[in-house]
Structure 1
C-alpha cells in the first residue's frame, strides 16, 4: 500500500474514479465510432454529445465553438495558427493589423514558442513582445495600454501554473476596449477549469484552451473554445470529425472521462469550495513556516488560486528541498525546469523581480479541489518530518546541536572538490581546498556540530581561505601562524614511508601530513592516516589529497589501497587508486525484479542508501527481506570505500531514488577493485513492490 502524498496537481492530477469508470465504459461497452450511424455508434455519440453539452454550460460557450482535442498545447497551436492566418489574410488585403505579438512574461512556454513557430512559418515577421508583470505576478495594465494599439494578438493566462496568480482578465479586456485594439486575444485557461468561474461568451476572449489532466481527467484530452465570429483555421484536416474543426477519430475514452469530471463540476457534489481550499492552503503554509525557518512564499495568497503554494527557503536549493520531500513521499515540484544537479531560475519568478535565491530555489506545492482533511493532515506531518531531517543534517538552523560525525566528507561543485576531515571525539576538523561555493555549507556544518577547525589548507598556494575564516568566527583559531597554503608554521613532524620528515597535524587518532611535490614545489599533497611510533607507514595512509599532476609523487609514501582524493572530479569518480580497474562490468546494475533472488543468494550483502542524510532521515526506513539499509551518502563514499575494500567478498548493493546516484557509487567501487558492487536499476521509484516498511 502506497504512502505517497501527491501535491503536484498543477503538473497533472490523479484521475477521478468516476472518470476511470466512464473511460472503461467507453472502451468496453460503448466502444463504437461516434461517426457511425448504427446503434453502436450512436451509443458512443451520446457520450460525445453529453460531454460537450456539459462543457458548453459550464464555460458559458454560448454561440462559440467548443471542440475536443488532445490538450492545451494543441489548443494553443490551433488558436495561434487561426489568428495568424487571419492576420496574414487581412494584411494581404491591405488592412492594418499591428506589428506586435504580445504575450505575458509569465506565460507557459507553449505560448511564445507557438507564436514564434507560426510567425516564422507563415512569413508574417511580426515582433514578439513580452508583457511585463509586477512583483505579485499581475500583468502590467499600463504596459499593455502602451502597446495595445500596435498589438496584432495578445496572449495572457487565467491563472499561472507556477504561482497560481489569477490574472485580471476584466482589467485586460477594459484596456483593449479603451485603446480600441483589434488584437485577437488568447487566454490560457488550463489552471482555471474547476477553480474559477468562467462565462466565456460574455467576454471578448477569442480563444481559450483547456487540458483535462489538470483536473482529474486522463492525459491526452482537452478542449478549445473559439468565440463566435473569431477566425478559425483547423490544425488537423481529414475525416471532418468535430464538425470539421479537428479531424481524427475522437478519443472517446478521454472524452468520456472528461465528461464525468465536467458532470461532477455541474452537480457541485464532488469538489471542495474556495473557503475549504483556502483553509487547506493555510494549514500547509503554517506547517512550512514551523518546519522551515525563514521560508518565504513567492505567491500572494490573496491574489492566487487557493490550491497553489510557491516558496523558497534561505540556504536551501530547490534540489535539496525536492529530495527531502520526495524521500518523505511528498510529491512536489521545483518552480522551474531542473537539470541533474541544479535548478535553473524560474523565468516566472524572475519576471516578477524576485531575487535569484528565491527563483532558483523555488518549490511548488499544489493540490486539487478533491483534496481532503486526511491528506492535508498527513502532508503537515510529513512536512514536520522533513524539517526535522534538515535540522538533524545541519541544513537549517536548530536549537539543538546535531550528533557529530567522524570521517571524511567530500563536497563537489562543477568538477571541483572541497574536503572535510572530521573527528567526533575531539570535535576537531580540518578543511582541505575549500571552494567559495561551499563556504556557507561548511560554516553551517561546523557551527551545527560545534567543531573547532584546526586548519584550512590548500593543495595550491593563494587559494581562497579568507572568506571561510571570516565565516567560521570563533570556530577557527585565526591566531595560529600559517603559510600561503594555510599550513601551520609550527606543526609537529612525522616520518613518512620514504624516510622523509614531514610536518603533521594530529586529529584524534589520525594525522594529516604535508609534503611538497611537483616542479618548483608549487604543489602540496596531504596524507591522512593513523601514525605509529611517530611514523606514517605507507600501509597506514588511507587517503591522499592532491591536484592530479602531483599524484605520481605519492607512490613512495602511500600504498596500493590508498585512496587518491582529487581537487578536481569532473567525471564523478569521487576517489581513485594508483592502478584502477580499467573496465566496468555490464552487470553493475541489478533489476528490481531480481532483487529477492539476489538477497537470498547473498545473505551477507550490505544494502547501502546513497541518498543524502536528510533524505534518509525523512524517509520511511528502507528494508528488504527484513534487512535494514546503511546510510552512506555520496559525500561520504570515499570514507567508507577504504573500509569496504578490505572486505572484497561482501557484496554491496547501492540504491537511491532513481538509480543515478547509486550507479555512480557502484562504478566507483568497481574501479577501485571491488567486483561485487551493484546498483538497483531505477532505484526506489521503480522497485516492485516498493521496499519500504509500513
Structure 2
C-alpha cells in the first residue's frame, strides 16, 4: 500500500495565514466529497444525472448573485481569481484595441496583486497596443491617489483596483473611487479585485458601475481550483477559453462541479443569518485586538504597517522592531504557528512592494510579517494562537532576542566562542572568552539593537568594538555601537585601543594588511603562537579574495599582505571575513587556500606579485560586470548533492551506528528551544547537537565536529541543512546526510 501524504494534523498547528489560503470547512468538504461520489454528472449531459448537475450549477450561480449583490450581469465560474483577471483584461483590451494610441494608459493600483500588472503588461505586449501601463500611487495608509486617477483616467483603456489588499487588509472606499472614475471617464472599463472582500465586507455590485469582479474560493474555505467572475451587463466580453461551449459559450471546458458544489455550501453559510460559522465584524475586531495584545506582550515594541482603522479586522501586517522577519517566521514555524512574510505569492522576494508603495521604511518593507485569520475563526482558535505566541517569550529571552526580566537567562546559548551575525551579505563577528570578555568586529548598523540586547542579556564585558577598515559599501556602526554600550576607551578611528586586547587566556592583536583599502587591518586571536581565528575584513572573502577596484585599493599591497599574514596562520585557523556572499559560514585557512586557486598559486610561489596583480585585475573586472560593486569574489564550491534520508532511515542509522551518528540541528537556538525534536527520532542528548549556521564557525573553532563521525543535518525545510552540508564537505566531511524535506515533512 502506498504511503499517503499526510504530515501533520490541523490540531498540531495554529494557522494564521488565511490570506494565502484557508482550510476547507468540514461542511464544505462533505459536500465536495458527496458531489464527487454521488452527484458527479456532467452538466452538459441531457440525462437525469446531467440535469441534476446542471441544476446544482445554476442554483450556485443564483446564490452567488445574492452574496455579491448582483441582480443583473453574468456570473462565470472560473478556476480562480487569476483566470478571472485574465478574462476581464483580455476582454477589455480586445474591445478597445481600435482606440489605443501612443497616449493611452492602463491604470492599476500600486499595491495591486502582481497578477494584475503582470497580466496588463503581458496582453498589452501580445496585442501590440503600445499603451503605457501606469501604477496609481497610494498614500502611507495604502489609499489610492484620487487626484492622480482624475488626471490619468481620461486616457485610460482600463483601470484596475482592489477592494481589500491581500498583504495589509487595507480597503478602498469604492463609492468615492467610483465617483472620481466616472466623473472623468464614464465609459472606461473598471475591474475590482474582490478576492479578499468576500465574507469580510458587504457587496452590492449591481449598485455600482464596476465592470468586472474576480473571486477565488480557496481564500474563503472552499477548495482550490474554483472561483467566479462577475461581469456587468453590456461590459465587453470575449471568451478566454474556447472549446465545447460550456457556460453558455462564455467559458469552455467541463465545469468543476465538485468545486462549484463547494461554493454552493459556502454561499449557503454566508446567507444563513442564523448560522454562527461566519463571525460578525465586531467579533473579528475583538479577535484582532487579542492577537495584538499577545504580540506586544511577547515581543515588546511592534510597528504596524497598516492602519488599524481602514483595514479589515482579519489581517495584521507588522514588524517586530528588534527582529528580522526570518527570525520571527522561523520562531513561529518551530512553535507550530503559521504566518507569512508579506504576500505568499511573492515569498521569494526580499521586500514588500506593497509597503514600498506605501512609503514604508526599508526595515518595514524587508521585515514585514502578515498574520491573517478567516471570518470563520473561533474563539478557541484565537485563544490557542495567543497562548502559543505568549509561550514564546521565555524562548526569546533565553536566546537574547528580547530583554528579559530574569537576572540570568536559563541557557547560555550565544555567550562563548565565535558567533557570526549577518545582515544580507555583511558579517559581524562576536567573540566571547570563557570569562565573558568580548570583542565585536565589523558591526553592521542594522544589527546594533540585537548586539546591544545580547551584550546586556549575557552580561558581556566588551573590551573593544573594532572595524577592519572603513567599509566602502556601508555606513560605519562602530561609533554608534560603542556609544550604545558606553564603551569609553581611547582608540583610533577603527576602534583599536593601541595595544593587544586581552580576552581571557587569549589575546587579540592587529597587523596592517593593506590591499582592499589603504587602511585595511587584520585581527588575530591567539594564545602563544597558535592563531585560532583570523578576522580578515575584506582582504579575504570565503573561498575568494577581496576586491581591489576601490579608489584606495592596491593589488600589489594585497599580495604582500597575504604573504606576510600566511606564516602566522595554521591549517585549522578559522577565517572570519567581513562578507559572506555565498552563505559559506565557516572555513579554515587550509580550506580557504584550497578553494582559492589564485591565493594558492601566490603562496606556493607559482606566480610572482606582478602576475598575481594581472590575474586579480581580470577577476575584479569579471566581478564588476557580473555582480556590481561587491567587496570581493568567491569561487562557488561545487559539491555533490547530499544523500537524502527519510525519518525511518535516520532512525535506522542512529540505532545501527549509535556511537558514530549525530543528529545535527542547524536551526537557530530559538527554533531549537521552541520545538524539541528528540521524540521524533528517539535520540538521546549525546546524539543531538544544535549548531546553528551563525555558530558553524565556532564549531570548528572549538573542535566540536569530527570528520570521523556521521552527521544527519536537520532544519525546517532542508535548505539551511543543505547549505551547511556544502560547507562541511568543503572542509573534508564526507559522511554527511540531509533529512529529506526537513522537519516540514516529518
- Output the CA distance in 2 between the equivalents of 1:39 and 1:319: 56
- Stretches of structure 1 that go unaligned for 5 or more consecutive residues are 492-504, 688-694
Q: 1:545: which partner in 2?
A: 535
Question: Deviation string for 1:114-156 (max 9, x for gaps)?
Answer: 2222223223323333223233222233333333433332211
Give the one of 294, 302, 315 matched to 2:301. 294
- Output the CA distance in 1 between the equivalents of 2:164 and 2:59: 27
Q: 2:732: which partner in 1?
A: 673
Q: 2:645: which partner in 1?
A: 590
Question: Deviation string for 1:10-50 (max 9, x for gaps)?
Answer: 11111111222222222222223221112332333233223
Contact 2:470/2:476 (CA < 8 Å) preserved in 1?
A: no
Matched residue pairs, number? 660
Q: 2:613: which partner in 1?
A: none
Q: Does 1:469 align with 2:479?
A: yes
Change (3 A) 1:189 1:415: closer
Contact 2:572/2:590 (CA < 8 Å) preserved in 1?
A: no
Give the one of 20, 38, 51 matched to 1:42. 51
Give the one of 667, 678, 682 matched to 1:625. 682
Give the one of 301, 325, 335 matched to 1:328. 335
Q: Does 1:30 align with 2:54?
A: no
Contact 2:467/2:478 (CA < 8 Å) preserved in 1?
A: no
Task: Give the structure-1-normalised TM-score.
Answer: 0.87
Give 1:103 shift.
1.8
Q: 2:398: which partner in 1?
A: 392
Question: Deviation string for 1:345-397 (max 9, x for gaps)?
Answer: 32222222333322322211110011111111111112223344333333334
Q: 2:601: which partner in 1?
A: none
Give 1:589 shift.
3.6
- Output the CA distance in 2 between the equivalents of 1:338 and 1:264: 28
- Output the CA distance in 2 between the equivalents of 1:523 and 1:98: 55
Give the one of 61, 85, 88 matched to 1:79. 88
Contact 1:148/1:181 (CA < 8 Å) preserved in 2?
A: no
- Output the CA distance in 2 between the equivalents of 1:460 and 1:278: 52
Q: Does 1:610 align with 2:610?
A: no
- Output the CA distance in 1 between the equivalents of 2:148 and 2:388: 43
Question: Deviation string for 1:602-628 (max 9, x for gaps)?
Answer: 323322322222323333555321435
Give 1:324 shift.
1.7
User: Map of 1:514-663 to 2, 5 A cutoff?
Assistant: 514-515=510-511, 524-529=521-526, 531=527, 535-536=528-529, 538=530, 541-546=531-536, 547-548=539-540, 556-580=567-591, 584=639, 586-604=641-659, 605-623=661-679, 624-628=681-685, 629-644=688-703, 647-663=706-722
- Output the CA distance in 2 between the equivalents of 1:402 and 1:75: 57
Change (3 A) 1:478 1:281: same
Which stretch shifts more, 610-619 or 431-440? 431-440
Change (3 A) 1:84 1:563: same
- Stretches of structure 2 that go unaligned for 5 or more consecutive residues are 1-8, 546-560, 596-637
Give the one of 437, 454, 459 matched to 1:428. 437
Task: Output the aligned Cα RMSD.
Answer: 3.0
Question: Deviation string for 1:199-257 (max 9, x for gaps)?
Answer: 22222111111000100111111101111111111111110001100001112222222
Contact 2:654/2:683 (CA < 8 Å) preserved in 1?
A: no
- Output the CA distance in 2 between the equivalents of 1:180 and 1:522: 63
Q: Secondary structure at the match of 2:439?
A: strand
- Output the CA distance in 2 between the equivalents of 1:14 and 1:82: 32
Task: Give the structure-2-normalised TM-score.
Answer: 0.81
- Output the CA distance in 1 between the equivalents of 2:494 and 2:185: 70
Q: Does 1:376 align with 2:382?
A: yes
Change (3 A) 1:544 1:101: closer
Q: Does 1:126 align with 2:131?
A: yes
Give the one of 327, 339, 348 matched to 2:354. 348
Question: Deviation string for 1:420-477 (max 9, x for gaps)?
Answer: 110252x310123334454443333223323222123454578999632342337464
Change (3 A) 1:181 1:217: same
Q: Secondary structure at the match of 1:303?
A: coil
Q: 2:557: which partner in 1?
A: none
